[in-house]
Amino acid sequence: MDIMEALFTRRSIRRYTGEPVSDGDIKLLLNAGFSAPSANNRQPWHFIVVRDRNTVEEIAARHPYAKMLTQAGCGIVVCGDTKKQEREGFLIEDCSAAIENILLAAHGLGLGAVWCGLYPVQERAQVVADILNIPPDIIPVGLVVVGHTDEKGRSVDRFDEKKIHYDKWRAQD
């Protein structure tokens, strides 16, 4: 799939067939994450691939918006290492770029994916940290649910001229 088509047709997918994601695809998804840019090239991310059935069900039960994880069967928790990047804002930006790369790679591989927010919602991040034994100096930023899609993501046009400014901020009407 062409990169521009991938960018314009990627959608959040929340229905899955349950067919397992292959190890080869997991590796490609992670490699996409590793390929993101990062502030000062610190690459401060970690990836936790969650496929164990009990773990999947526990996360789905305790995260308010990740029920689809049980059907997808696979999640990738993208975490930021505060020892590698002390500026929390940069850490979140770096991990977000990695997450976006994983979402696009999933789409490119014919899979579906959705970004379930963790940071900055303390209780959601803590639930995932507890379940996965994530230490306190590692921030779970987002959970990417990924699987074989069971829905057609319809392309949408979000282009909005009112959000585009030229050379200076232009106050909205």
Q: Which residues bind a copy of itself (CB under 8 A)?
A: 1-8, 10, 12, 28, 30-32, 34-37, 39, 43, 45-52, 55, 87-90, 92-93, 96-97, 99-101, 103-105, 107-109, 114-115, 117, 119-121, 132-135, 138, 141-142, 158-160, 163-169, 171
CA dihedral over 119, 124, 128, 133, signed as positive or negative: positive
* Residue 129: alpha-carbon gap to chain centroid: 16
Q: How far is the CB of 89 from a copy of itself (least distance, A)?
A: 3
Which DSSP letter does residue 108 get? H
CA dihedral over 25, 31, 37, 42, signed as positive or negative: positive
Q: Which residue has the tokens 């319809």?
A: 154
| Residue from 5, 1, 6 nearest 101 by CA | 6
**Closest to a copy of itself by CB, 39 or 71:** 39
**Closest to a copy of itself by CB, 48 or 67:** 48
Residue 44 neighbours by CB under 8 Å, 6+ apart: 38, 80, 81, 82, 84, 85, 91, 94, 95
**Closest to a copy of itself by CB, 17 or 49:** 49
**Closest to a copy of itself by CB, 160 or 173:** 160
Q: How far is the CB of 162 from a copy of itself (least distance, A)?
A: 9
Phi, psi values for residue 93, rounded to 5°: -60, -45
Q: How far is the CB of 108 from a copy of itself (least distance, A)?
A: 4
**Closest to a copy of itself by CB, 67 or 92:** 92
